[in-house]
């Protein structure tokens, strides 16, 4: 279940989600590309290390691009991140 506060600015949004790092804020930046939308996402771990990664839609689901470069604590909530994007796209 995606719960938490959300702020939205023209397709971009911030969502706080529970992770193994605690409640983590994810900043979503939407880019409209030739082949569809892509989200660039920023998150920080509890030691304030920043992680940038992107997600694109494949087979009706939003998937992390290059998941091997993303920490496990982010990979395990890929479904929650996908749901957050899907909900935001339904509203926008």
Query: Which tokens in the block code for residue 52?
Result: 């940038």
* Residue 46 belongs to some domain of the structure: yes
Task: Report the predicted TM-score, pTM, of the whole model to 2 decimal places.
Answer: 0.84
Q: Could you tell me if 21 and 2 are in contact, meaning their C-beta atoms sit under 8 angstroms apart?
A: no
In a domain? residue 1? no
Q: What is the pLDDT along the chain (92 residues), one digit of tens a residue?
A: 444 445 445 679 999 999 999 999 999 999 988 878 899 999 999 999 999 999 999 988 999 999 999 999 999 999 999 999 999 887 76
Our count of domains for the chain comes to 1
Residue located via tokens 């939407």: 30
Show the domain range for 40. 6-91
Assess if residue 86 is contained within a domain: yes
């Amino acid at each position: 279940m995606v719960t938490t506060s959300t702020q939205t600015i023209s397709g971009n949004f911030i969502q706080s989600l529970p992770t193994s790092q605690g409640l983590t804020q994810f900043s979503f930046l939407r880019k409209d590309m030739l082949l569809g939308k892509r989200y660039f996402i920023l998150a920080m771990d509890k030691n304030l290390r920043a992680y940038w990664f992107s997600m694109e839609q494949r087979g009706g689901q939003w998937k992390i691009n290059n998941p091997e470069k993303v920490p496990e604590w982010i990979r395990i909530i890929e479904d929650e991140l996908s749901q957050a994007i899907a909900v935001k796209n339904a509203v926008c």
